[in-house]
Amino acid sequence: ERTPTSKTGDSILILEDTDRDGRADKVTHFLDDLNCPTGFQFFKDGLLVVQAPDLWFVRDTDGDGKGDWKERILMGLDSADSHHTANSVVYEPGGAILLSDGVFHRTNVETAAGPVRNTDGAIFRFEPLTGRFETYVSYGFANPHGRAFDTWGNDIITDATGNNTYFGPAFSGRIDYPAKHPKMKTIWDRPSRPSAGSTIITSTHFPDEFWGNYLNPNCIGFQGIYRVKLVDDGSGIQGERQPDLLSSSDRNFRPIDTSVGPDGAIYLLDWHNPLIGHLQSHLRDSNRDHVHGRIYRVTHEGRPLAQPPPIEGQPIPALLELLKRRENQIRNLAKIELSKHDSAKVIAAAKTWAAALDRHAPDYPHHLTEALWLHQWHNVVDVDLLQRLLRSPDANARAAATRVLCYWRDRVPDALALLRRQAADENPRVRLHAVRAASFFPKVEATEVALAATKLPIDYYLDYTIGETLRQLRPHWRKSIGDGDMVAGGDPASLRYLLRTLTVPELLKMP
């Protein structure tokens, strides 16, 4: 962080292991003289960089590894406290990025669709190609630094301060500012706090029992990284603690983030600092360590590393083939590389690739879902492909497609009718995604989608999401009932579900 007397600023560095011995031996300064950047993500031929109050797109136009062109693409992110500033820029599988605000912040971002305002903690969603910026989760977070998407696009969100981890789809429906979603249960009982970042392991280098596990680094009560197995919990997900990935007796060991590389190794950031509080000690306390931070590379002894596939500069057909890979990180890197190519050419090739897929392959539903996500990444709506996946025999694919329908809702004919069908799906997670999507439609007809999901067994997460969608839609259905209109076909059970969400004073005003 810059001080009034500092001569140089912060940097974004490229570390390379040129001789493949597992240690970085080359450093390139991609960007210098920054003032407390708090997150970045690859985008096309450069980076999206958060330096509040702005989000910048910085490009390397001549391929020398240095940013030489930049454009401010967002402004208005609160910069009052770097401890809480927008950070942890993470891609969802369809190409939008998520970034977060912490408590005590007041963010106001002007967009083409109007201002987006937030008070205290929240997660935002931004589509770099369309410029759409919106609140993704409005909740009583302290610092929601941790988030990761699994293979099917389900997001796991961790609030750093308390190390509380949540099933993202259940509370990411629309709720108008300044409202916040109410308390939701966590997916596992964490033994310690806080946790500043998270990752889901997809690595052929580690044993099979590590696949899909959630990594949860802790830096105060426990100096190490918890490992959590994720399993279905009705419409949601729950975590089961596994043996820890690692721990340290060094009380200054401060693991704050993890990621999996293309070689399957796990890379770990160690802040390594005796003082980590932002108020307990003076900002200029000499015990604050500015020189001993480090990055560890964690491998599994006796197992071969994965061979990273060529990605940079590869032609479109070769990159499309990488979408068949099981590793989340490789598929993401392939889509980032595809974003450098002309979208029309990418989509044309993707249609040919999807048509040639083996329909009998076990991973066929996921390959086809990747084709749908690629369309979303390039902002090209394909209703036929979407319809196929909405009716896929694989429930995970149907849920993922329902989420895409939510974000294509203004460009897909009869979107509400499609969602109502999804809300009656036999799978509870598909129903949850349909109910979540209904919250984005400011009309009484969306109420029918949420109520359709009540006709089948309802679990904790479904009940939560139905309740929140009905709360968001309350002005519309409440007026209809008050005007004597037929809501939910006059079904008594549905009306009871609606009326139970009203307070006694509200009920007393009803006819």
HEC string of 336-397 equals: HHHCCCCHHHHHHHHHHHHHCCCCCCCCHHHHHHHHHHHHHHCCCCCHHHHHHHHCCCCHHH
- Mean pLDDT, rounded, for 29-57: 94
Res. 82: pLDDT tops 80? no
The model's pTM is 0.95
Nearest alpha carbon to residue 498 among 455, 466, 460: 466
Q: Is the pLDDT of residue 502 over 90?
A: no
**Residue holding tokens 């004073």?**
505
- Give the pLDDT band of residue 108 (cuts 50, 70, 90): very high
pLDDT over 90 (residue 83): no
* Mean pLDDT in residue range 122-145: 95
Positive or negative: CA dihedral 496, 500, 501, 507: positive
Higher pLDDT, 497 or 218: 218
What would the two tokens of residue 299 be?
A: 């491998």
How many percent of the chain have pLDDT more than 70?
Answer: 99
Q: Is the CB of residue 171 less than 8 Å from the CB of residue 464?
A: yes
Residue 120 tokens read as: 């205290």
- The average pLDDT across 318-341 equals 97
Locate 283 and state its tokens.
């900002």
Q: Does residue 53 have a cis peptide bond before it, meaning omega lies within 30 degrees of 0?
A: yes
Query: What pLDDT does residue 500 have?
Result: 81
State yes or no: pLDDT of 511 exceeds 80. Answer: no
- What's the whole-number mean pLDDT along residues 223-250? 97
pLDDT band at residue 499 using 50, 70 and 90 as cut-offs = confident
- What pLDDT, on the 0 to 100 scale, is given for residue 1? 60
How do beta strands 146-149 and 133-138 pair?
unpaired
- Asked whether the predicted pLDDT for residue 179 surpasses 80, the reply is yes
Q: Hey, is 58 helix, strand or coil?
A: strand
The residue that leads in pLDDT, 496 or 75, is: 75
Say whether pLDDT at 278 is over 70: no
Which residues, at least 6 apart from 230, have a Cβ–Cβ distance to it below 8 Å? 150, 156, 187, 200, 212, 213, 214, 237, 238, 239
Q: What is the pLDDT of residues 284-318, one digit of tens each?
A: 888 888 888 999 999 999 999 999 999 999 999 99
Interatomic CA distance for residues 276 and 263, integer angstroms: 32
Task: Please determine, for residue 482, whether its predicted confidence score (pLDDT) is greater than 80.
Answer: no
Q: What is the pLDDT of residue 437?
A: 98
At 86, the pLDDT band (50, 70, 90 cuts) reads confident
Mean pLDDT of the chain: 94
How many CA atoms are closer than 13 Å to the CA of 158, on its beta-carbon side?
32
Average pLDDT over residues 448-457: 94
